[in-house]
A and B are shown apart, each in its own frame.
Chain A
Amino acid sequence: MRAKLTGARITVSARTAIRLRLWVTLRWRRASHVGSPGTGNGARRFTLRNIIYIWLSLRQTGPGRNTAMSSSETVVIHPALRGRIAWIDLPLVKVPDPAGHGTLLTAKISDETIHRLYRANRKTGLWQAWGHLAGELPPIPNISIIRGTVPKGGLSGLDLAVACFKGLNRPHRNESDGQSVITYILNPTHTIAMHSSMVCVARVAPAPSNTVLAVYMRPQDALHPPLDGISGIITGWEFIPADADAVSLPEDFSERYGEELWRR
């Protein structure tokens, strides 16, 4: 595929033009079919910016495929969204050293996971990333309304992890037993969830009973290529049932993970 950007015009090869037209047609039909919000019954704005975005998507994923977000290497974010959506722009976070030295390391929350949640409109997962991982309330309109409803320390935080495990005992990406994956266990008493409201679309709620929060991280040495200055990528977070006896730890923790690195 060849394309040349000249001033306000893009010159593309004939083959690219056909692919572009096919892709736009497909997207247009989908939009018309579902009546995309804010686009006036499927009507699309063909600004230069949007055409560049479409071209970038084509270059990386090919026409007719809905895979613009299918790997962290091929994430294409519409330029109009960059810097405009504060709530998908999470900061780097501090995580306890898996080696148990008591130091805090820097980790990044996976862009791919965040953008998947965004694309799927799963606000609860995003708000929980802010509350439990970044240690802040999500920067959304009128969030100050719920600020007073968060008990001190109620959302916990990665620095307050109570245990750390390594290995998943199941396939994960190219590993047969997910041996590189680090799991931090947190004990928040509260969490944040989506709330249908015209004022503020987040609410603080008690954490589900008898659960712990598991946060998964791929450490630096498992990343290809490794990222400078980052000790790992946080790929997921979820509430899981607590163990009946050791209530601050996950159910079946002794069989569930490869090894226990530390607990507090």
Chain B
Amino acid sequence: MGKSSGVGREVNELTTPDQWLHEPFAANAAYFVDSDCVEYVNEDTISVYKRIDGFLTLIYDETQIRVIGFKLKGFRYFFEKMKAHLGLNNNSFIKVAALIEEICRDIGDELLTDDARQRAYQAARKIAEKEAVELYDLPQAA
């Protein structure tokens, strides 16, 4: 899986329907406004969402063994709280690995005492880091 910069790899607004149908999937992080979450998957397949806590869900493929992405829930709240520390790049995108690190810092000691939860955050961060996941669709001010 290549790098996922987001910009330019989304469906172009001039892409025709037929092109879209046969266009290969390219991984992008996206902020879903109505469900207030950021999702990233590196494969377009049947997936299973396993809740880790109130903020993180890991996304597995249909075998439920391989992690193919993650979902950051209640994103607007965290974004507003942390945007000063995230080093917004030209006010337009954030590196998701840095975001997950900030969330881990925010959770603090709770994470240190819960191995499974800690491993889940590490897995999400690893994907975000390895696949250079960036988020361009940032929540707008309420």
* A residues neighboring B (CB under 8 Å): 30-31, 33-34, 36-39, 44-45, 50, 53, 64-72, 74, 78, 80-81, 84-85, 110, 112-113, 116, 118-124, 140-141, 169-174, 176, 178, 191, 193-194, 198, 201, 205, 207-209, 211, 216, 218, 233, 235-236, 238-241, 251-252, 256
Instruction: Please indicate the chain A residues that have their CB under 8 angstroms from the CB of B41 in the complex.
Output: 122
B12, A120: Cβ atoms closer than 8 Å? no
A208's contact among B36, B46, B78, by CB below 8 Å, is which? B46
The list of the 5 closest CB pairs from A to B, nearest first, reads A171-B74, A170-B54, A30-B8, A235-B35, A235-B34
Interface of A is mostly: loop
Instruction: Please indicate the chain B residues that have their CB under 8 angstroms from the CB of A36 in the complex.
Output: 8, 12, 14-15
* B residues neighboring A (CB under 8 Å): 6-17, 19-23, 25-26, 28, 30-37, 41, 44-51, 54-55, 62, 64, 73-74, 76-78, 92, 136-140, 142
Decide yes or no: A193 and B138 within 8 Å by CB, A38-B16, A78-B14, A119-B30 being known contacts: no
A256, B32: Cβ atoms closer than 8 Å? no
Pull 13 A–B residue pairs with CB atoms less than 8 Å apart, ordered by A: A38-B19, A66-B92, A70-B33, A71-B140, A123-B44, A124-B47, A140-B21, A170-B73, A171-B76, A235-B34, A235-B35, A236-B35, A239-B47
Interface of B is mostly: loop
A216's contact among B28, B31, B35, B64, by CB below 8 Å, is which? B35
Q: How far is the CA of A235 from the CA of B51 in the complex (A)?
A: 18
Q: How far is the CA of A211 from the CA of B34 in the complex (A)?
A: 24
Decide yes or no: A239 and B46 within 8 Å by CB, A71-B33, A113-B32, A121-B25 being known contacts: yes
A119's contact among B11, B14, B45, B92, by CB below 8 Å, is which? B11
